[in-house]
Structure 1
Amino acid sequence: MWGTLPDVLDRACTYYAGNTAVIDGDRSITYRELEQWRNRVANGLRSLGVRKGERIGLLLPNSLEFIPTQHGIWAAGGVLVQMPARAPAEGFRSNLAQTEATTLIYDAQFEDRVAGLREQLPALRHVIRVGGDAPLPDGVLDYAAAFDTQPTDRPEVGLHEDDEAYVLFTSGSTGDPKGVVNSHFTWGHYSITAGLEIGDIRFGERFAHGAPLTHFTQIFVLPTFLRGGTNIMLPGLDVDVLLEAVEEQGVTATAVVPTIVYLLLDHPRRAEYDLSSLRTMIYAGAPIAPERLREALKIFGPIFVQTYAGTEPGYVSCLRKNEHRPDDPAWAGRLASAGRPMFQVRVSIQDEQDRPLPVGEVGEICSRQLGQMLGYLDPARNADALRDGWVHTGDIGHLDADGFLYLVDRKKDMVVSGGFNVFPRQVEDALATHPAVAQSAVFGVPHEKWGEAVHAVVVRKPGAEVAETALVEHVKAALGSVPAPKSITFADAIPVNPAGKADKKALRAPYWQGRTRQIG
């Protein structure tokens, strides 16, 4: 192995000391400055009494401070606790409470949401604020005062690659977020091998991060460093900001959720920007409807890479650039796949009794690799997902004879209507083939006769008009009457959760209010 996470960064900082490592607007640091900053944070934490194995919450937006602080936590021997910036205050409290975190480092923009947390968290000894003009709350330390004058040599901690390094939380798209534990080895394997293979990271890469660094885009930070490249911080997944960054910063690669691809396709001024530097766009979090993917390939060219991953299994498969072949009849159908398992990843489709299923049969997607989680923060949950070395993803899919993986849907998203199983993703893909549809989210709503009925929330393309009945008939023609929506709501946008996925829990909630059981 390559050692611990601080060892990996040390290597990059030695090789590329004078290169620009991170850019945030008009601020930037070199690799040498990154290493020194990391070490000051690590020494500052040690001077506060933080010891190896203590868990530390990091609540920062994508910013210049994020990466050196993250790596400073690891260099101090601390365990990083994921704190998604878009989570509510209760989410912050829950993550810190579940991990028994002793320290929280937060940005001043979250002041209102972290106020009062310390009183609710008896294990929390240190709270450190980054930036802000307002006076520091009682008991809160200033980031610059805590770290700026610390030594710039890496502290001696005695880290081992099997030590705990990271507690991440699942997106909660189908239930309450669960804490997932990774070591220096599993996280290093997860991020470096997957990042290099998926991202096709080249020397001098300029990787733009618009999605939160607490989400999947962080996987590409270390691989970019190992190629002497630059990680460019963007203040959120805003299409206009992304277009401007590609033109002005010469961005060569980025990672987005499918919603951003749809917005780029429908952007009225996209053609005004020089996007010639962009050679890689990774999409993850949810599949792109095949029809919209074909449209994207025609407009942007062969720059797309799809990846399928989960917090528990790590990165599982990818559909590479050369496998996006919309004009080749032998390959066109594979645009609907999630690609093939990556290097050192095994995939098995299993039935309800954990028995492997043959090629073509639909079952639960299970994977096995060195970068998968060690287990859940709550060990009692492990039996639900970890059996015989396999991570049971909760996703439904199948493999074809050439090893391509096809996702049918989330196991918990399946709609059971009149005894028939309906997979929302298939309905969403069918809706996407209608020229008026930009995006959709399909889920089950209560029905007295059938138990559940298929409902769709549809976003129309700019200027497009289409009747509900026309879309229902369109899906019927493609899939038959059972999967066809029984009702459709038109909306301006599909809400997303902090991970950037369609927030079907929020969409379903009004329909299931007051019921003791919410199917699907």
Structure 2
Amino acid sequence: MTDQNSMWGPVTRVLDRACTYYADRVAVIAGDRWLTYAQLRSLSNRIGNGLIRLGVAKGERVGLLMPNTLEYIPTQHGIWKSGAVPVQMAARASTEDHCYFLTESAATTLIYHEAFDGTVAEIKDRVPTLRRLIRLGDQPNPAAADYYETFDTAADSDPEVAVSEDDTAHVMFTSGSTGTPKGVLFTHGQMSHYLITAGLEIGDARPGEVFAHGAPLTHFTQVFVLPTFMRGGTNVILPGLDVDTLLDAVVRHRVTATAVVPTVIYLLLNHPKLAAADLSSLQTVVYAGSPMAPDKLRAAIEALGAVFIQTYAGTEPGFLTCLRKEDHRLDTPEALARLSSAGRPLFHVDISIQDDDDKHLPVGAVGEICARQPGRMSGYLDASKDTEALRDHWVHSGDVGYVDAEGYVFLIDRKKDLVVTGGFNVFPRQIEDVLATHAAVAHSAVIGIPHDKWGEAVHAVVVPKPGHSVTADELIALVKEHKGSVWAPKTLDFAEALPLNPSGKVDKKALRAPYWAGQARQVN
């Protein structure tokens, strides 16, 4: 139910209009199951009314712990329709993290998938506010109410709850890549703004879009769900970011767009099915989560064509920039140089580069990337942390970079990933970009490790490509040639894979942990 005094209204307003305009079209596909727009609206309404019938009050927090499944989108919208606030829980997070998410948000209800039976059994008695468990599964479980038994008998009319743009709509948690995850709050107005405007501008959504979601719906891919609905398209939900599954889905459903992390593109380029797969329907591939090395991006454009769009975002500031398809060019030195950027700010976003004293820096100067926009967070669950990121209406991203004269934003690294060695500031991403130019390197990560003489030493972990060989000395020499001796890793290890956090980013905290164990801080 929309508050008529609200300009944006609840996030569900977009879904309801799309369901009215495109009632008979297929809205969501997951495996061999699907929902039309009319069925999607009916189910989300029944979930909203079912929660109200259970006593879930407006503003209560409801944990949502599901993998990518057909029920995810209607459940999320059903929570919004009840007036409650979904707590986003990354499916790949640990049991301890899930307990932390529910406890920090004071969740009263948890809707979860049977895949998490073990997790819920471990944590349900450790969350003092948790009163209701609702479980989605094929077989009943006496520990929780059955999902469809709970919601099937509820009314499918619009729930009678007035929700305005100023009401809290979401509790999200940061990835915790540099510390304990923080709970981030968004209002319905903020969510509506960035899900609609950023999703349309970044995703380049077309009428009848068929968007494949392989990344977790708790990650950045969710920003494209509503824009796809606005265009009367279909959201295809995949169980994970498996390259075989993605290729099969593109062929089977004639997928027109998808969103992935760069690692998936790297795997796709080396996949034996790529040459034979009919990918002619694929018009848009959005990549985010981490920058792509320029050499790898060149190879991707040559293999798949002018389909790529990059976006740069953070939990707190929202979606900030876009490197559009027309920017992904290989024909001039200037165009090639821009492949290293994150693109230009979205139309509703202001970017400022600031120093440690929050002073605005000029074009070309390196500092912290800060942003302001209507779609930014409203604050943290713990309000005492608000000034860590939100000062004078600017959200401080924690990323270091600069803006060139044409407005392109260049990311150098995470502020907290900076390695200070012998008094010199070294940015790991620039070393990783050099390592990526070697034909034998599939992925790499660079960190700082303790050193008695220099405070920190540059250390690299490299995943070699199958069938290729290279020595540590060769790669160290490559970096020294391009960046100089200060930037060259002092040590280099090889690994079969790099650890990833629940957001799909390289978990540098996990890489650093063994080296910094027992020390009060991860810097010397």
Cα distance in 2 for partners of 1:386, 1:240 equals: 42
Q: How does 1:175-186 map to 2 (within 5 A)?
A: 175-186=179-190
Cα distance in 2 for partners of 1:46, 1:134 equals: 22
The equivalent position to 1:109 in structure 2, one of 81, 106, 115, is 115
Query: Which residue does the alignment assign to 2:390?
Result: 386
The one-letter code sitting in structure 1 at the alignment partner of 2:67 is: P
Instruction: Provide, for residues 344-364 of structure 1, a one-character-per-residue CA deviation record: whole Å limited to 9, x for no partner.
Output: 100000001100001111000
How far off is 1:54 after superposition? 0.5
Cα distance in 2 for partners of 1:2, 1:203 equals: 23
Query: Which residue does the alignment assign to 1:299?
Result: 303
| Alpha carbons 2:140, 2:146 under 8 Å: kept | no
How far off is 1:508 after superposition? 1.1
| Alpha carbons 1:165, 1:184 under 8 Å: kept | yes
Query: Which residue does the alignment assign to 1:84?
Result: 90
Deviates more, 1:459-468 or 1:49-58: 459-468
| Alpha carbons 1:266, 1:461 under 8 Å: kept | no
| Alpha carbons 2:444, 2:460 under 8 Å: kept | yes
How far off is 1:118 after superposition? 2.4
Q: How does 1:436-515 map to 2 (within 5 A)?
A: 436-515=440-519
Residue aligned with 2:342, SS: coil
| Alpha carbons 1:20, 1:29 under 8 Å: kept | yes
Query: Which residue does the alignment assign to 1:400?
Result: 404
User: Does 2:344 align with 1:317?
Assistant: no
Residue aligned with 1:67, SS: helix
How far off is 1:486 after superposition? 0.8
Cα distance in 1 for partners of 2:380, 2:406 equals: 33
Cα distance in 2 for partners of 1:344, 1:429 equals: 30
The one-letter code sitting in structure 1 at the alignment partner of 2:340 is: A
How far off is 1:491 after superposition? 1.3
Instruction: Provide, for residues 437-463 of structure 1, a one-character-per-residue CA deviation record: whole Å limited to 9, x for no partner.
Output: 111111111111111111111111221
Residue aligned with 1:349, SS: strand
Deviates more, 1:323-332 or 1:35-44: 323-332
The equivalent position to 1:353 in structure 2, one of 347, 357, 371, is 357
How far off is 1:116 after superposition? 3.6
Residue aligned with 1:35, SS: helix
Cα distance in 2 for partners of 1:421, 1:268 equals: 41
The one-letter code sitting in structure 2 at the alignment partner of 1:4 is: P
Query: Which residue does the alignment assign to 1:155?
Result: 159
Instruction: Provide, for residues 73-116 of structure 1, a one-character-per-residue CA deviation record: whole Å limited to 9, x for no partner.
Output: 00000101011100111111111111101100000010001104
Residue aligned with 1:115, SS: helix
Residue aligned with 1:161, SS: coil
Cα distance in 2 for partners of 1:344, 1:66 equals: 29
The equivalent position to 1:59 in structure 2, one of 60, 65, 70, is 65
Cα distance in 2 for partners of 1:512, 1:132 equals: 45
Residue aligned with 2:208, SS: coil
Query: Which residue does the alignment assign to 1:328?
Result: 332
How far off is 1:370 after superposition? 0.1
Query: Which sections of structure 2, spanning at least 5 residues, go unmatched?
Result: 1-6
How far off is 1:132 after superposition? 3.7
The equivalent position to 2:47 in structure 1, one of 41, 52, 69, is 41
User: Does 2:267 align with 1:263?
Assistant: yes
| TM-score, with structure 1 as normaliser | 0.98
Query: Which sections of structure 1, spanning at least 5 residues, go unmatched?
Result: none
How far off is 1:384 after superposition? 0.8
Residue aligned with 1:336, SS: coil
Cα distance in 2 for partners of 1:407, 1:330 equals: 17
The one-letter code sitting in structure 2 at the alignment partner of 1:426 is: Q
| Alpha carbons 1:70, 1:80 under 8 Å: kept | yes
Cα distance in 2 for partners of 1:206, 1:486 equals: 47
How far off is 1:117 after superposition? 2.2
Query: Which residue does the alignment assign to 2:76?
Result: 70
How far off is 1:175 after superposition? 1.0
How far off is 1:310 after superposition? 0.1
How far off is 1:4 after superposition? 1.2
Residue aligned with 1:271, SS: coil
Residue aligned with 1:446, SS: strand
Cα distance in 1 for partners of 2:260, 2:420 equals: 31
Cα distance in 1 for partners of 2:142, 2:504 equals: 32
User: Does 2:18 align with 1:25?
Assistant: no
Residue aligned with 1:509, SS: helix
Cα distance in 2 for partners of 1:344, 1:205 equals: 24
Query: Which residue does the alignment assign to 1:429?
Result: 433
How far off is 1:148 after superposition? 0.7
How far off is 1:3 after superposition? 2.1
How far off is 1:494 after superposition? 1.4
The one-letter code sitting in structure 1 at the alignment partner of 2:57 is: R
Cα distance in 1 for partners of 2:315, 2:521 equals: 26
Deviates more, 1:416-425 or 1:119-128: 119-128
The equivalent position to 2:171 in structure 1, one of 153, 167, 171, is 167
| Alpha carbons 2:9, 2:163 under 8 Å: kept | no
| Alpha carbons 2:66, 2:91 under 8 Å: kept | yes
| TM-score, with structure 2 as normaliser | 0.98
| Alpha carbons 1:109, 1:132 under 8 Å: kept | no
Deviates more, 1:3-12 or 1:417-426: 3-12
Cα distance in 2 for partners of 1:51, 1:420 equals: 55
Deviates more, 1:458-467 or 1:339-348: 458-467
Query: Which residue does the alignment assign to 1:9?
Result: 15
| Alpha carbons 1:39, 1:155 under 8 Å: kept | yes
User: Does 2:226 align with 1:222?
Assistant: yes
The equivalent position to 1:377 in structure 2, one of 374, 381, 397, is 381
The equivalent position to 1:208 in structure 2, one of 204, 208, 212, is 212
Cα distance in 2 for partners of 1:73, 1:428 equals: 42
The equivalent position to 1:127 in structure 2, one of 123, 133, 140, is 133
Cα distance in 1 for partners of 2:332, 2:306 equals: 13
How far off is 1:134 after superposition? 5.5
Cα distance in 1 for partners of 2:55, 2:379 equals: 28
